[in-house]
Amino acid sequence: MSNDSLVMARRLTLVLAVLIAVCSAAVVVIAPKAQAGTAAQVLHYEYGPIHIDAGQNTIQFSSGQVAKPAVDGWIVGIKPNILLPDNTTPRVDVIHLHHAVWVNLSRTDSTRGGPQRFFAAGEEKTALALPKGYGYPYVASDSWLLNFMIHDLVNQSFDVRITYDLTFIPKAGYTKPITDVTPVWMDVQNGDLYPVFNVYRGRGTNGQFTYPDQAANPYGSSAPKNQFTMPTGGTFVWAGGHLHPGGLWDDLYVDRGGQSAHVFRSTAKYFEKAGPVSWDVSLGVTKPTWKLQVQTGDVLRLTTTYDSSQHSWYEAMGIMVLWFAPNHSGGTDPSTLAAAKNQVHYTHGHLAENDNHGGLADPDLRDPSTLPSGPNITNIAISNYEYSPGDLDLATQVPTVQQGHSIRFTNADAPSSGYGTWHSITACALPCNLTTGIAYPTANALIGFDSGQLGNYGAPTAGHLTWDTPTDLPPGTYAFWCRVHPFMRGAFRVVPAT
């Protein structure tokens, strides 16, 4: 193992141990009973309440058993959501489901080993609906785990529940034939606890950046994480993508004998009027007519493409979960599936939780480019969600630094090691002083910089509390925001050396 991967492995082990210990006990709220001998029924399950601290952005794991059907059967659909105590879905610009992964501890993950990941959701909230006649065999004694990251974007705590409506067929008394399918998890960073990469404004081709193809040395000395060699032939019957704001599509290829066939594109449909910049999006899933026949030794390969024309995207993801019937005949050979690869179905339209787009005039936030220069400084503290000095909230001047020098930011809202409130310093285009919403602010500065999440708690933190501004910034005013808490804004000014 390289030094880097050793450090990463240690960090991940530590974070797993700490998080499992820290995660508060949550209780089953609703556990309906499946009725035997009936056709598919929708069962509503919940996990929670989960107490989310103000400003929290932590990867957590469920404790205790996760609610699930009491009898054997087949899962044929899953619909995710997140709810507040009053049973409303929270606004995405206030608190949202960054991701949740449903894990079956009693099965083995086909592409990574270890516990089986069988469903995932982020704020794109794609619902699974397997084509008729296919089902995920469910055994009541299976043990499930939830891995979730709930992102609190404001300085206020919440109690939330993660909900999942299972479309379920009880086995007892069901006589129609069902073909068993198993999940195949494809991920451009497969195997990582926090499988992310960065997209930098202007990289790629024609304003689009495809990962990993256009990244420099994306996997270092390790094997490509975006590929999986089929251990057996069979038929894929469903596929759906996951990506983050800025993402345009996830592409699946089948490589066989030197030939590569593009077999599916999960295209993001943005309802967001500002373009591909927010969670106001739905991801395309395969239509029931899409059936992909593969052979032993075929290599599945996933890529993801982001819009890099106006923005940088930090901690981006590219995932596709597929459902596979091993040793099943039928379906179309990869080489002739091209015609169907772009035919997608969207499982939802615009969702009301994405109604606050932001980007309007905010009377409290000053345009830093119009403010006079303040004193030369060397340090900015981030404390209680404020950059000090330099916060744009009711600002009267902009702190300065001489060209060639740095300002050191220190996050005082997190301990030197352990759980805390994590902040970033992320460049945004001037004036960066409009109202906060799902589409504003963004990392849209021409000269981009990003500190990562200042904290020392394993993923997703940067592993340190301080960050220094680049020394090569030309004179000018630089606005920034916190990617974790987008209402936080600040600015500094680089002045010519005297």
Residue closer to Cu ion (CB basis): 107 or 485: 485
With a CB cutoff of 8 Å and minimum separation 6, the contacts of 206 are: none
Residue closer to Cu ion (CB basis): 193 or 412: 412
Residue 302 in contact with Cu ion, rule: CB under 5 A: no
Residue 425: CB minimum distance to Cu ion, A: 9
E strand map for 197-274: 197-199, 208-211, 227-229, 234-243, 247-256, 259-270
Assess contact for 97 and 150: CB atoms under 8 A.
yes
Sign, Cα dihedral of 462, 382, 55, 321: negative
Assess contact for 181 and 135: CB atoms under 8 A.
yes
Interface segment toward Cu ion; rule CB under 5 A; list 255-263, 326-334, 420-428, 451-459: 420-428
Token pair in block for residue 430: 């001037």
Residue closer to Cu ion (CB basis): 473 or 484: 484
| Residue among 182, 267, 183, 187 nearest 227 (CA) | 187
Residue 495: CB minimum distance to Cu ion, A: 27
Report CA-CA distances (Å) from 24 to 21, 85, 250, 383, 479: 8, 17, 35, 26, 37
**From candidates 281, 438, 484, 491, binder to Cu ion by CB under 5 A:** 484
# of chain residues touching Cu ion (CB under 5 A)? 5
Residue closer to Cu ion (CB basis): 147 or 461: 461
Coil, strand, or helix at residue 4? helix
Interface segment toward Cu ion; rule CB under 5 A; list 108-116, 169-177, 345-353, 488-496: 488-496
**From candidates 328, 485, 489, 493, binder to Cu ion by CB under 5 A:** 485
Report CA-CA distances (Å) from 362 to 59, 372, 388, 487: 32, 20, 20, 11
Residue 328 in contact with Cu ion, rule: CB under 5 A: no
Residue closer to Cu ion (CB basis): 54 or 429: 54
Residue closer to Cu ion (CB basis): 334 or 486: 486
Residue 241: CB minimum distance to Cu ion, A: 29
Question: Which residue matches tokens 């999960």?
Answer: 266
Residue 359: CB minimum distance to Cu ion, A: 19
Residue closer to Cu ion (CB basis): 117 or 485: 485
Instruction: Mark residues 424-463: x for contact with Cu ion by CB under 5 A, - for none.
Output: ----------------------------------------
Rounded CA gap, 423 and 461, in Å?
9
Coil, strand, or helix at residue 248? strand
Report CA-CA distances (Å) from 215 to 11, 102, 212, 317, 444: 24, 30, 5, 14, 20
Residue 151 in contact with Cu ion, rule: CB under 5 A: no
Residue closer to Cu ion (CB basis): 415 or 475: 415
Residue 431: CB minimum distance to Cu ion, A: 20
**From candidates 482, 486, 490, 492, binder to Cu ion by CB under 5 A:** 482
Coil, strand, or helix at residue 233? coil
Residue 3: CB minimum distance to Cu ion, A: 30
Residue 488: CB minimum distance to Cu ion, A: 5
Residue closer to Cu ion (CB basis): 366 or 423: 423
Interface segment toward Cu ion; rule CB under 5 A; list 82-90, 246-254, 331-339, 484-492: 484-492
Interface segment toward Cu ion; rule CB under 5 A; list 66-74, 88-96, 352-360, 417-425: 417-425
Beta-bridge partner residues of 104: 116, 144
Residue closer to Cu ion (CB basis): 235 or 426: 426
Residue 75 in contact with Cu ion, rule: CB under 5 A: no
Residue closer to Cu ion (CB basis): 328 or 423: 423
Assess contact for 360 and 453: CB atoms under 8 A.
no
Coil, strand, or helix at residue 154? coil
Residue closer to Cu ion (CB basis): 55 or 183: 55
Rounded CA gap, 308 and 426, in Å?
16
Report CA-CA distances (Å) from 223 to 95, 117, 189, 211, 455: 36, 21, 11, 15, 29
Interface segment toward Cu ion; rule CB under 5 A; list 25-33, 369-377, 416-424, 443-451: 416-424
Question: Cis omega before residue 470 (within 30°)?
Answer: no
**From candidates 423, 432, 467, 469, binder to Cu ion by CB under 5 A:** 423
For 94, list phi and psi in degrees, rounded to 5: -110, -55
Interface segment toward Cu ion; rule CB under 5 A; list 9-17, 126-134, 318-326, 422-430: 422-430
Assess contact for 214 and 260: CB atoms under 8 A.
no
Binding site for Cu ion (CB under 5 A): 423, 482, 484-485, 488
